Amino acid sequence: MAWKKAPEELVQFLAENLKDVECESRKMFGYPVYFMNNHMFIGVHQEDLFLRLAAEDKEKVQANYQGIKPFEPMPGRIMKEYVVIPTHLYTNPEIFKELLTKSIHYVSSLPPKQKKMMKKKKK
């Protein structure tokens, strides 16, 4: 499966919408992702925008909004708390704000995650 480069418009859209959110931007596999308390909560993967939701919020938004699907970065590897938000939803400012707020609220409620220490290579 060939990796697709993230559209620059999507990268800029996310950066613009998160400029006032206290979070950390990082790159994973060449794509921008954002963290709060060392918990990933939103990002870009290839041509998709994904975000993290609490289980009850995930069920509600999947029932209320057409096109939201589980985030599966590799075939058979579904990330259970993450969903892909289709373009028609994240380009709607009201819906995107609602989903982003739910994600931020959930991730903010989690205890801070400790960064993993890199193992030193044996010589």
CATH number of the domain encompassing residue 42: 3.90.1150.30
Task: Answer yes or no: is 1 within a domain.
Answer: no
Is 43 contained in some domain? yes
Q: Is the pLDDT of residue 123 over 60?
A: no
Number of structural domains, the chain? 1
Inform me whether the pLDDT recorded for 122 exceeds 70. Answer: no
Tell me if 93 is assigned to some domain: yes
Q: What is the largest CA-CA distance in the chain?
A: 55
Q: Is residue 19 part of a domain?
A: yes
Both tokens of 23, joined, read 């979070």
Indicate whether 99 pLDDT > 60. Answer: yes
What pLDDT score was predicted for residue 23?
A: 94
Residue 122 lies in a domain: no
Note whether residue 115 is domain-resident: no
Pairing of strands 69-74, 77-85: antiparallel
Determine, yes or no, domain membership for 119. Answer: no
